[in-house]
Chain A
Amino acid sequence: MPANRFNGFTDYGVGVGLRIPHYDHILNRQPVVEWFEIISENFMVDGGRPLAILDQILERYRVVQHGVSMYFGSADKLNREHLRRLKTLVRRTKTPWLSDHLCWGSVDGRYSHDLLPMPYTFEAAKVTARKIREARDFLEVPIVVENVSSYAEFHVSEMTEWAFLNEVVERADCGILLDVNNIYVSSRNHGFDPYEYLNAVPADRVAQIHIAGHSTYEKYILDTHDHPVIDPVWALYEKAIARTGNTATLLEWDQHIPSFDEVHNEALKAKRYLVSA
C-alpha cells in the first residue's frame, strides 16, 4: 500500500530529516535523495536564512512537514496563530501530508516543548480526534499522527496504547506516522510485546514510517535519535512493511549528527526491506 489517502497518494520512498549541519553539503553537492522531512516549527518564521534555505531545497527536492508542537492531545484549544503560520508554510512546501505527534505538551497556553504521554482514556481520544479534525479542516492537508516514545503510564488509562491509537485515528479519520523505534522504546519501558502493538495498527492508515536510534540507560530507554538503528528495530520495520506494503520511510537523527552521507546510508538500509516493484 505505497500510496493512500493519508499520504496524498504519494510513493515517496526513503528520506532523511533536513538538518542544519547538512545544509552546505546538500546545496553544494545536490545528492540524490528521494525526499526530505522538515521540522515545521523551524520554518514558521517571516524571512531570513531559514526560508531562503528552504526555498533552495524546494527547487530540487520533495519536502514533507513534520511538527512537534501542535499537541493534539492537550486539553487546550488549538493555537490559532500556530495554525495560521503552519498554513502559510504548507502552501510554501506543498507538503502532501502533515504529521505531528499523538501527545500533549501545553497547558493553559503554557508550553513544555516536550512530547508528553497521553492517558489512554476515551475522553482523551475524543478530545484529540476533535482537534485533529479541526486542524485538517483549517490546513486543508491530510494529517497523520505519530506514536511517541513514553516513560510513564497513568492509572486512569482505560486501554492499551495501540487501542488508544486506533480509537483516535478512527474517530479523526486520519493517518498514522508509525514510528517503529518509538514502539520498541515504549515496549522496553513498559514491558509489552512490540509485535502485539504492530499487529494491532490499522495498516491501511499508515502514511509514513519513522526509524531512528535511541540510548539505553540502566533502568529505561530514551528516544534520543543519536545512534544508528538497532537490529530489533529493523526487525520491527520489516514486519511493519510486510503489513503495510512499501511506505514512505524516514530516518531521524537529531543529536551528535554525523556526515550527511552517513545519515543517508543508514536511511537507505531500509531499502533492504522494501519490495521491488
Chain B
Amino acid sequence: MKLAELQRRMFAEITNTVISADYIKPNARLTARERLDIYRDQYWSRLIDSLRDDFPGLLLLLGERAFQKLAIEYLTACPSKSFTLRDLGQHLPAHLQNQPLEHDMARLEWAHIETYDALESEPLSATFTPDQALALQPHIRLLELQYPVDDVRLKTLSARAVKARRPATIHLATHRVEGDVFYRRLEPGEFAILQKLSTGKSLAKALRGIIANPEDLQRWFATWAQLGWLCHPPAKRTSARSRGQ
C-alpha cells in the first residue's frame, strides 16, 4: 500500500467509520482495531476538549451531552483544515445558523478568540481630517446579536434565563486592553458608525445617514479615543508596476 493511500485510509477511519484495520499489525495484547481505536479516542477527545475550552458559553447553554453531540456533528461536517487548533471552531457559528441563540453565542466566542490574538495597531493621533480614511483596531469585532449571550458568557445571566427571553437586538464590540478581552455594549448609532469606519470609510462618510445628537457623538468619540479604537488603515502595498519596474 502506498503512503498516500495508507494515510487516507487511516485518517478516514480515525475520523469516521472503521471499515477494516487490516493494514495494522495486531500484537499479543491488542487487535488491529484496538490499536487503531487508541488513535480514534485521542482524536475525538483532543478535538472535543479543544472546542469545550474555546466555547464555554455554548457548553453552558447546551449542557455536556448536547455539546458533545454538536461537537461530533460539527467536526464530521467541518474537519479541521488548519495546522492550529486555535482555528478549530471558526466554522461553528455558520454550522449553528439555524439555532439563533446558539448561533449568537458561537459568534461571540469566535469573536473572542479572534480578538485575543489579533494584531494591535498604533492608535490614531489626535489630529485627523473628516475626509481622512480611518480604521478600527484589528482586534475589534462588531456583533449584532439577538440574545444577551455576553451576560451568559460572563455568568451574570443563567442559561435558563436567556433561553426564556424573547429575541431583542443588542450591539456589542469585543476588544482588547493590555492583553485581556472585554465585551462592550454599543448604542445602535455608535455601532452603525463603527461598522462604517471598519470598512475604511472617512469620518464624514461614516456619519452620513446617522441620526445622533452632538452630545452622543462627542461621548462616543471620547470613549473610542480613550480605548485607542481608531487607527490608520493598513498601508496598501505598492505593486511592482506602480513603482515603474
Contacts and interface: CB of A to CB of B under 8 A. Distances in A.
A22 to B, nearest CB: 17
B83 A41 contact: yes
B80 A52 contact: no
- Interface size, B (range): 35 or more
Interface of B: 1-4, 6-8, 10-11, 14-15, 22-25, 27-30, 32, 34-36, 38-39, 42-43, 46-47, 50, 79-86, 88, 116-120, 138-139, 176, 179-180
A108 interface: yes
B25 A69 contact: no
B6 A156 contact: yes
B81 A47 contact: no
Contacts of B118: 46-48
Interface string A68-90: 01100011000101100000000
Contacts of A151: 35, 38-39
A110 B80 contact: yes
Contact of B46 (A109, A113, A219): A113
A193 B176 CA distance: 53
Contact of B1 (A81, A113, A153, A156): A156
12 contacts: A45-B86, A107-B8, A110-B79, A111-B79, A113-B43, A113-B46, A116-B11, A116-B39, A152-B25, A153-B35, A156-B1, A222-B38
A152 B24 contact: yes
A46 B39 contact: no
A207 B36 CA distance: 32
Contact of A46 (B36, B79, B138): B138
A138 interface: no
Given A46-B138, A82-B83, A220-B29, A121 B3 contact: yes
Interface string A42-66: 0011111111100000000000000
The residue in A50, A51, A219 that gathers the most chain B C-beta atoms within 10 A of its C-beta is A219
